[in-house]
């Protein structure tokens, strides 16, 4: 791989020596990326759990409630499965222990990204209808729930090719054939998706009101706050 220099090694030695040396050099180069992924997963785990709780149990019933609950669930999968596996892959890049784990990671990666595209498109469509066609038909709450289920099933199907095609690959180094795991994923968009719900949530007045209500205990009244608007 470009940028990785190996000390001369007799090609008659066990190929595992090459793998260990490649991993040692590669780990030094990707350590900052792993740290960023770890921080993103930690923040996203807490943030998306909060998003799911508020939009799932405290928010007024509307189409936006289902869209953002689904988005929070998707990104929770990214923070608990995909990003930790991405960190592991970068530290065992050339001797990944098992092929099924890398297939699972690729499948979850593809599923979450595809599903994010679908849900963000539905949110954009809903915004367009409310702003540009306020007196025409709108996406109702039941329709939003059904669309969330349909897009989830479609994403499961469309994410199948990465999970099937990705595997360990042979790599020739100094005349020796290594069975090395070499695969590249673009993690930047997944990191943005993982934090998108909480970034949008802090701009939502109803979301902020619920969080404020959770943090500040009102001793004067236990009456639940009614949310009159729905984003």
- Which has the minimum average pLDDT: 105-114, 127-136, 202-211? 202-211
What percent of the chain is predicted at pLDDT more than 70? 59
The angle that helices 63-77 and 99-132 make with each other, rounded to 10 degrees, is 160
Residue 153 makes CB contacts below 8 A (sequence gap 6+) with none
Structural contact between residues 82 and 108, judged by C-beta atoms closer than 8 angstroms = yes
Structural contact between residues 139 and 126, judged by C-beta atoms closer than 8 angstroms = yes
Spatial separation of the C-alpha atoms in residues 220 and 230, rounded to whole Å: 26
pTM of the entire predicted model: 0.64
- Which has the minimum average pLDDT: 40-49, 113-122, 219-228? 219-228
Helices (H), 54-159: 63-77, 83-91, 99-132, 141-158
Spatial separation of the C-alpha atoms in residues 3 and 214, rounded to whole Å: 50
- Which has the minimum average pLDDT: 51-60, 92-101, 194-203? 194-203
Spatial separation of the C-alpha atoms in residues 90 and 224, rounded to whole Å: 47
Spatial separation of the C-alpha atoms in residues 206 and 213, rounded to whole Å: 10
Confidence of residue 150 (pLDDT cuts 50, 70, 90): very high
| Domains of the chain, CATH where assigned | 15-215 (1.20.1070.10)
How many CB atoms within 10 Å of residue 58? 18
How many CB atoms within 10 Å of residue 41? 20
Give the residue, 100 or 72, on which the prediction is more confident. 72
């Amino acid at each position: 791989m470009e940028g990785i220099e190996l000390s001369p090694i007799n090609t008659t030695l066990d190929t595992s020596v090459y793998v260990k040396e490649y991993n040692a050099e590669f780990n030094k180069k990707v350590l900052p990326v792993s740290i960023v992924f770890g921080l993103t997963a930690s923040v996203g785990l807490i943030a998306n759990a909060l998003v799911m709780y508020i939009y799932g149990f405290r928010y007024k019933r509307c189409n936006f409630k289902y869209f953002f609950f689904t988005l929070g669930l998707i990104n929770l999968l990214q923070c608990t499965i995909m990003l930790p596996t991405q960190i592991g892959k970068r530290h065992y890049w050339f001797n990944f222990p098992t092929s099924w784990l890398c297939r699972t990671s690729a499948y979850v990666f593809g599923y979450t990204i595809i599903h994010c595209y679908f849900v963000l498109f539905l949110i954009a469509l809903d915004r367009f209808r409310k702003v540009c066609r306020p007196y025409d038909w709108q996406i109702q709450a039941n329709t939003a729930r059904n669309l969330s289920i349909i897009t989830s099933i479609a994403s499961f199907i469309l994410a199948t090719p990465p999970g099937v095609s990705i595997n360990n690959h042979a790599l020739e180094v100094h005349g020796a054939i290594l069975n090395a795991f070499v695969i590249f994923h673009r993690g930047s968009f997944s990191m943005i998706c993982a934090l998108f719900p909480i970034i949008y949530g802090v701009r939502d007045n109803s979301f902020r009101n619920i969080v404020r209500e959770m943090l500040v205990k009102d001793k004067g009244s236990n009456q639940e706050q009614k949310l009159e608007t729905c984003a």
